[in-house]
A and B are shown apart, each in its own frame.
Chain A
């Protein structure tokens, strides 16, 4: 085994071990406040212009924060809390667009765009590969030769 291969194997093992450990080990448990904050960041404040409940200082936002904390305290699920807030204030308080109907397009379109761009690149590279290399003609070579001479003279 060459030294370089050993170094690359080493780096792969170290990186993968760190990644697996960080994914499997849960670390400190999430508190109720952490869960409430995570939800509040994704709920829009109904009376503010484009601010989330976590960001806004409006009293409506503060009240929703209190409600979220209360629901979590009661052991309600995140889905329940979202559904409850949607029914109270309308679908647009939920910052996460649903995956249903027309709305699902917001998730699908970027993937289609990315896949299309990737396919385009693959096609272009294939075409480039199949094209024959251009050969320099005698006229081209003469041009280069003249340039070199001009440089050497200079």
Chain B
């Protein structure tokens, strides 16, 4: 049996397990075999085993260069270094779907373990059915249009081209896609619970409490995945940028936006029992957007540097996306009566009022991010005009939203539930406000100009101050426990967001770039830095040749940007080199090596230099957000969500104590 056939059998067995799971649960629901569905656990383990085996089988093929599998023949190479050999799996379509299925079955297995005591709960039946359907979709994709184990008959001495050279030039490529997938795929779990809740009519808060940690974990991975992607693009593409509002970047950002909105608005439902339809819609939207994002990346409908080559899985993904949206909206409409909120929000100036505003802003943000990439398609369909919607549009439209979100981030954490008096707000916000003003003064003193970045620094200081105030108060009260739990971890996440916002504003407003023609020994001065061209070096590697130039920055250290030539792939890619400090980054990349009229090289180099302030805080901010998420999922001091904590109703006796009524739950 050939390697490809073994792989195909593994995938087919996985698909069979998922389809059997669906069949067993449906039979149970029809009342034919009511007890069977509880035994679907074994099928989940079978799916996980098959997806794991498939991954191992593919990695074995990549590492041993088994070119009888077409995926390895198309994307593997005997010249690729070992770490990128492993990462080749997710450098192309079929492997990335395989990774998706692996992560998905892992999550499903975790659900089975976590909820093992709830096996008799009818809601779990629907949760498992939803999860099996999603698994079956991905397994069937691999059986059909995205088969990773197609066979290939390699000629004698065949060697593959290896993955795209850009994808094997930086170690971050080994981490960014898997972490992103852990985020994307993780949203399947809250989606499945939302469907389970809708079908069984248990649309209260139970399903939210059961899945909120899953949502936060998925969100944390998605955040880290996006930041690592930005970091990768900054380190490897050589133009000093990290976020280009590219359709694929937008596709990953959309579920992040709706997921962030959900994480906030869910607290209103837990506390007040409100916003049920809205929260369900956000969960569905987040999951549906991960599928839509996959469609955009994989189907080649939009032009992007990230997009994989055109493939035939587009219609399948679009069909699945439509199914998710139609079924979910149908269920929400069906349960409309039960979803009506029992409560109301007393005052817009309250914690829940701030969460509502937060959600409106995130929804508007998502609208802009979605409209931008699809608008050119609409215009082209309407009147055959070709237009582009690029970074100037996104920056202009999202800037006011970003400012307002920063302002909310400052005010919301100190707002009490129900109603806030101006006196309380003035008391709690004064020191954060001073931090904001201090940040503005400091930025002006160090030479920053322009109203927009200065306002961003001020609001950043304000929001950061408010988050730190909460952390200080909590740690004073509870010691180290003041750092863990959802609220406290959330404040650490806010600090990370502020770092990113400030770094984003500074790097966008004050980025400077220029090109210099330098002969050996010559020095260029740019943006306060001295760059000396010391010489050229030629290096030969098994899969590429590199031409590096030695550039001394400020007489401190030599950096070596260059150009690499991958003869097999026929590609020439730049190798940027970046000097990072906490204050600014100097990114160097080689534009070209000039030639004279006779075609001989002159020994000079055209060097592109990009200087940006505070870039490193983007990555630090991302790590702080990940750390905050980690702290948020550590159980903190639990407050009973149904405990009476709000203001008493008129005429009612005040509660004897504000302690939660533990026995009731």
Q: Could you list which residues of chain A lie within 8 angstroms of chain B, going by C-beta atoms?
A: 4, 7-8, 11, 14-15, 18-19, 21-23, 25-28, 31, 33-34, 37, 41-42, 44, 48-52, 54-57, 62, 65, 90-98, 101-103, 105-107, 109-110, 113-114, 117-118, 121, 125, 128, 131, 133-136, 141, 147-148, 150-151, 154
Q: Which of A56, A96, A105, A134 contacts B392 (CB 8 A)?
A: A96
B426 proximity list for chain A (CB < 8 A): 4, 8
Is the CB–CB distance between A22 and B450 below 8 Å?
yes
* CB nearest neighbor in A for B648: A136
Query: By the criterion CB–CB under 8 Å, are B513 and A95 in contact?
Result: no
Chain A residue contacts of B357, Cβ below 8 A = 121
Cβ contacts under 8 Å, A125 to chain B = 345, 348
Of B386, B391, B515, the residue contacting A52 (CB under 8 A) is B391
In the bound assembly, the distance between CA atoms of A150 and B662 in angstroms comes to 10
Given A8-B430, A109-B371, are A33 and B389 also a contact pair (CB < 8 Å)? no
B430 near A19 with CB under 8 A, answer no
Q: Is the interface of A mostly helix, strand, loop or mixed?
A: helix
B364 at the A interface (CB under 8 A): yes
Chain A to chain B contacts (Cβ below 8 Å), 12 pairs:
A11-B430, A14-B440, A22-B444, A33-B512, A42-B392, A52-B390, A57-B589, A92-B388, A105-B375, A114-B364, A117-B363, A141-B652
Q: Is B383 an interface position by the 8 A CB rule?
A: yes
Q: Which residues of A contact B356 (CB under 8 A)?
A: 121
- Give the 6 A-B residue pairs with the shortest CB-CB distance, closest first: A95-B390, A27-B449, A18-B440, A22-B454, A33-B514, A23-B451
Contacts of A114 in B (CB 8 A): 360, 364
Pairwise interchain contact A113-B364, C-beta atoms closer than 8 A: yes
Query: Please, which residue of chain B has its CB at the minimum distance from the CB of A42?
Result: B392
- Within the complex, which residue of B304, B360, B388 is in contact with A97, where a contact is CB–CB below 8 Å? B388
Contacts of B363 in A (CB 8 A): 113, 117
Which residues on A sit within 8 Å (CB–CB) of B447? Answer: 27-28
A90 to B376 Cα, complex, angstroms: 14
Known A-B contacts A34-B512, A128-B345; the reply to A92 vs B393 at CB < 8 A is: no
Q: A136 to chain B: which residues have CB within 8 Å?
A: 649, 651-652
Chain A: CB-nearest residue to B447: A27
Closest to A109 in B: B371
Given the complex, which residues of A lie within 8 Å of B391, measured CB to CB?
A: 41-42, 52, 95
User: Complex Cα distance A80/B622, Å?
Assistant: 40
Which residues of B sit under 8 angstroms from A51, Cβ to Cβ? 244, 305
Q: Given the interface contacts A18-B444, A33-B513, does A147 sit within 8 Å of B455 by beta carbon?
A: no
Q: State whether the Cβ of B458 lies closer than 8 Å to any Cβ in chain A.
A: yes
Is B21 in contact with chain A by the CB < 8 A criterion? Answer: no
Would you call A57 and B244 a contact (CB within 8 A)? no
If A34-B512, A97-B387 touch, does A22 touch B451 (CB 8 Å cutoff)? yes
Q: Could you say which residues of chain A place their CB within 8 Å of the CB of B450?
A: 22-23
Q: B39-47, B81-89, B431-439: which one contacts chain A?
A: B431-439
A15 touching B513 by the CB < 8 A rule? no
On whether A49 and B389 interact (CB within 8 A), knowing A15-B458, A148-B656, the answer reads no
B664 in the interface, Cβ–Cβ < 8 Å? yes
Can you add 10 more A-B contacts, CB < 8 Å, to A33-B515, A102-B382, A103-B379?
A4-B426, A7-B434, A14-B438, A15-B436, A21-B444, A113-B367, A114-B360, A128-B346, A151-B662, A151-B664
CA distance A26 to B451 in the complex (A): 11
Contact of A95 among B388, B437, B454 (CB under 8 A): B388
Q: Which of B346, B360, B387, B512 has the most CB of A within 10 A?
A: B387
Closest chain-B Cβ to A59's Cβ sits at a distance in Å of 9
Chain B positions 490 through 526: 1 when the CB is less than 8 Å from some CB of chain A, otherwise 0: 0000000000000000000001111100000000000
B76-98 Cβ-contact flags toward A at 8 Å (1 or 0): 00000000000000000000000
Closest residue on chain B to residue A14 by CB atoms: B437
Selected from A37, A56, A96, the residue in CB contact (under 8 A) with B513 is A37
Chain A residues, CB < 8 A from B241: 54-55
With both beta carbons as reference points, the residue of chain A lying nearest to B369 in the complex is identified as A110
B143: min CB distance to chain A, Å = 30
Within the assembled complex, what's the spacing in Å between the Cα atoms of A145 and B305?
A: 65
Verify if B427 is at the interface (C-beta below 8 Å from A). yes
Nearest-CB distance from B370 to chain A (Å)? 10
B397 within 8 A of A: yes
Chain B: CB-nearest residue to A62: B591
Contact residue among A11, A49, A147 (Cβ-Cβ distance under 8 Å from B304): A49
Chain A residues in 8 Å Cβ range of B322: none
Docked Cα-Cα span, A107 to B372, in Å, equals 10
Q: Which listed residue (A21, A94, A121) contacts B388, Cβ 8 A?
A: A94
A110 in contact with B513 (CB, 8 Å) = no
Interchain CB contact (< 8 A) of A106 among B386, B393, B649, B656: B393
Whether B239 contacts A55 by the Cβ 8 Å rule is: yes
Least CB separation from B455: chain A residue: A19
Contact with A along B184-196 (1 / 0, CB 8 A): 0000000000000
| Bound CA span A13–B573, Å | 52
